[in-house]
Chains A and B, each alone.
Chain A
Amino acid sequence: MTHAADLPVWAALLTGFFLILGSTLTLLGSVGLLRFRSFYERIHAPTLGTTWGTGGVLIASMIFHSVLQSKPVLHEILIALFVTVTTPVSLMLLARAALYRDRSEGNDGVPPFEAAAESRNERRRSSNT
């Protein structure tokens, strides 16, 4: 840890705090993933990790490197941005796929497709009148 020794203590403390905060949130997310009982509940859990979990670690990293190199090191923002943009893609695709599979297998607790369709028909009716 030759580099870290040069760091001011405040920066070190801040780095450590965010680091552990982020990791803890990520862990909590994973615990949720493990503990929630249905898939649709589980799908919420990882977002802890992808939002503030990632955010914490990224902030830690930004503080650490910026202070260490005495210049703003901000490229971590990109990671936050990318994670925010890409995670929904996989979660959306996955959730929809799960829903489809549950429906086609006729599992309980899954809203029927027709709910959405009916509402459309209602709207059509209302627009007709």
Chain B
Amino acid sequence: MDKIISKEEVSSIFKDGMTIMAGGFMGVGTPQGLVSAMLEAEVKDITLIVNDTAFIESGVGPLISNGRVKKVIASHIGTNPETGRQMIAGELDVELVPQGTLAERVRAGGSGLGGVLTPTGVGTVVEEGKEKITVDGREFLLEKPLRAEVALLKAYKADKAGNLIYHRSARNFNPLMALAADLVIVQVEQVVEIGEIDPDEVMTPGILVDKIFVQGGCC
């Protein structure tokens, strides 16, 4: 059950047309090495589920700039002008989702729920095409679960069982995406032996993590 994987092995995982989730908030907490491995895989028509498309040359931005992405589901695309340009040019399909709703949809996908009943977006364009459910006289949008074939996470530290600890504001979407994909790959700064992480301090249990890529090589 060795979970540690090389960059070449990461690259070989990606296929055209895949749906990929990646952690990060404006690039902070984005696994840059995994994004780079994905770029090297030369895949296309990717559907990308991310909080934002970061910047042209960092975060998940290079996947957009290099034309690998067919559709983005995100809460914010404003810091990467290439996302906006491709969207207006009709090259890229963009689904904008309020950030809290995006988090809930990923959670629903990872935790077996049928959807989310949120007040966010009621009375705005966000409600278009969505079912509205009234509970005790108040309207909520039914927002559907999101899942991916692969989730790309960034953590600070892992043990060899895949138990993860995140660092500061680099945590963001990573812990929730760990539940919502068929294959979960994490990029970490360091790997320690099993038993070296206090079970009370684990932020994502190792059973959710399939592969560990160590930044700058391992062990």
A and B associate = no
Residues of B within 8 A of A (CB): none
